[in-house]
Amino acid sequence: MNMDLVSRVADAYLQTAEGSDAARLHFLEGLWEIQSHMESADRHYDPPDAEAARDALVSGQPLFLLSAPVVPTAEYAEAASRIACYVSEAAGLSDAQADALRGVDFAGAVDAERLAGAVLSPNAFVAEVANDVSAQVGDDLTPATLAFVLISALAPFLTGPSKSARETLGESDGQLWTAGQCPVCGSPASMGRMGESSQLQGAERALWCGLCHAEWGYERIRCVRCGCRNSDRLRYSHLEGDPAHRLHLCEECHGYTRFVFVDDLGKSVSMVVEDAVTATLDAVALAMGYTATGDAVKGRA
């Protein structure tokens, strides 16, 4: 994570942000600092060779399926505990909620086998840990809060290997992947951006993974969630006064994807910050009847 860029972009938004928007950015700045420190540790990773990586992309397999990073159990548990402490202090939780989160025994809830599965199936990993520590909706320790901590702790162990895996490919090879899921870890795209083609390996539109921070080119006229290419079924929508941040909506699967339009933004872009800034659009999309995953079969040609 480029913290110089992240801080500069976040600070620019904070000049005009108010209320909950400003509070969320301040909170996340602290989290990003913690993650950046974790990310900077020197950990060994063997990326797949170029030929195997190309074959994987052609067959629709994410690169981590060939060579997954090993997440050290003790180091991960320590990272999760540190982030849990930060969240308990800075996220505005009640005393009971904060105590419950600080009381989670992450060392006892994770092991090498679970962490190996977490790399490609983070949701299943979260569900297993939530069951073990008895996180329940409506209780002081909720699955949503626990998931935030677990995924926030996992990301710094994946971003470095993700970059190494992508570096095994040439620029043209990176364009072999055409799915809306991450070509490295397989997670659904968190959001995308339009513009700055010179920085997107020749692609005018690109998608971004919030878990491992991979970025890849994607067709301009295509739904990220179901693959629909019918332009009559696809459209962008944005809030009045903010054309730089838009929802790409699909009438075929009723899915949506958040996008930042770089040319309309007119300033430096950090996808980590843009993901935070556009999070408010999730509620807008849901109110309009769209979901982040869509309800149609994925991968439609």
In a domain? residue 150: yes
In this prediction, residues 12-36 reach a mean pLDDT of: 95
Residue 288: half-sphere exposure toward Cβ, Cα within 13 Å: 21
In this prediction, residues 198-207 reach a mean pLDDT of: 67
* Greater model confidence, 200 or 167: 167
In a domain? residue 49: yes
149 and 14 within one domain: yes
CATH number reported for the structural domain that contains residue 231 in this entry: 3.90.1670.10
Please tell me the total count of domains within the chain.
2
What contacts 24+ positions apart, CB below 8 Å, involve 96-99?
96/140, 97/140, 97/141, 97/142, 97/145, 99/140
In a domain? residue 297: no
Residue 204 has pLDDT above 90, yes or no: no
Residue 45 has pLDDT above 70, yes or no: yes
**Beta strand pairing call for 256-261 and 191-194:** parallel
146 and 258 within one domain: no
176 and 266 within one domain: yes
In a domain? residue 299: no
225 and 87 within one domain: no
98 and 243 within one domain: no
203 and 152 within one domain: no
pLDDT number for residue 174 = 64
181 and 222 within one domain: yes
Q: What pLDDT band is residue 229 in, cutting at 50, 70 and 90?
A: very high
- Domain range holding 270? 171-287
At which of 101, 130, 159 does a domain end? 159
Q: What would the two tokens of residue 63 be?
A: 């690169």
To the nearest 10°, report the CA torsion of 136, 141, 143, 149.
Answer: -170
Render the chain in DSSP notation, one character per residue: --HHHHHHHHHHHHTT--HHHHHHHHHHHHHHHHHHHHHTS-----PPPHHHHHHHHHTT--GGGTSPPP--HHHHHHHHHHHHHHHHHHS---HHHHHHHHT--HHHH--HHHHHHHHH-HHHHHHHHHHHTT--TTSSS-HHHHHHHHHHHHGGGTHHHHHHHHHTS-TTGGGG--SSB-TTT-PBP-EEEE--GGGTTT-SEEEE-TTT--EEE--SSS-TTT----GGGEEEEE-TT-TTEEEEEETTT-BEEEEEEHHHH-S---HHHHHHHGGGHHHHHHHTT-BSS-SSPTT--
155 and 175 within one domain: no
Whole-number mean pLDDT of the chain? 92
Each residue of 56-108: pLDDT tens digit?
A: 999 999 999 999 999 999 999 999 999 999 999 999 999 999 999 999 999 99
In a domain? residue 165: no
93 and 241 within one domain: no
In a domain? residue 217: yes
Each residue of 159-188: pLDDT tens digit?
A: 999 999 999 887 666 678 889 999 999 999
220 and 141 within one domain: no
Q: What would the two tokens of residue 8 be?
A: 């500069």
In a domain? residue 294: no
Residue 27 has pLDDT above 50, yes or no: yes
At which of 159, 183, 207 does a domain end? 159
pTM to 2 decimal places: 0.92
101 and 69 within one domain: yes
Residue 197 has pLDDT above 90, yes or no: no
Residue 257 has pLDDT above 70, yes or no: yes
In a domain? residue 251: yes
279 and 194 within one domain: yes
At which of 159, 190, 221 does a domain end? 159
